Amino acid sequence: MTLTLFHSPGSCSDGIAYLLAELDVPHHVHVVNLPKGEHLQDSYRAANPKGKVPALRRADGSILTEFQAISFWLGRSFPQAGLIGDDLEDQARILELMDFMVASVHMRGFTFMKVPQKFIPDAEAQKALRAHGRAEVEKGLRHLSAVLGDKDFLMGRLTLAEAPAIYLLRWAVAAKVDMPDNMHALHDRLMARPAAQIAFPDG
């Protein structure tokens, strides 16, 4: 059995779709239509009771969830691409960056910006939550900008850290989030990679 990515294009599973392309790993894609609520249906929850994407079905049929865990497993399973490496300090720094991007910039920033109605029914409160989310995203991107500096990639070389970076930067550009020039440059550098063209054929 080959790998299957449970994926909703435009969501954070874009980062895993990009990573699989970067690693050049043969896999199937099972599209889960989030706007239509397919992630909440029994057929999907039988595979992933969390009802979220991304999820990865491995060769033994088991399902792995959570962005960082999937990325780590892929990076270690396909080491020839050198996206995680063997050095403990390096691995810890890569995980540190990934956790910041997923747990803080995505979950505490973009989530409030994109779906404030999930948290609060009042329209004025939603507006305030959306603004709070945008400010958190901008703060997070300023931190990542300082980490990036004048390097080409967050760790100096391409690593797993670019997997969450690419989906966050695509969201940031689409939402016209204010971000430093080096983050725009990272977005453009990643989007120019052949793997991005495979993962995002529509741009």
Contact residues for ligand GSH, defined by CB under 6 A: 11-12, 34, 39, 52-54, 66-67, 102
Strand-by-strand arrangement of the 3-7 sheet:
27-31, 3-7, 55-57, 63-65
Tokens 């430093």 belong to which residue? 180
Q: How far is the CB of 48 from ligand GSH (least distance, A)?
A: 9
Tokens 């495979």 belong to which residue? 198
Nearer to ligand GSH, 36 or 151 (CB): 36
Nearer to ligand GSH, 110 or 182 (CB): 110
Q: How far is the CB of 152 from ligand GSH (least distance, A)?
A: 26
Residue from 116, 140, 144, 117 nearest 130 by CA: 116
Nearer to ligand GSH, 164 or 182 (CB): 164
Nearer to ligand GSH, 52 or 187 (CB): 52
Phi-psi region of 101 (alpha: psi -120 to 50; beta: other; left: phi over 0): alpha
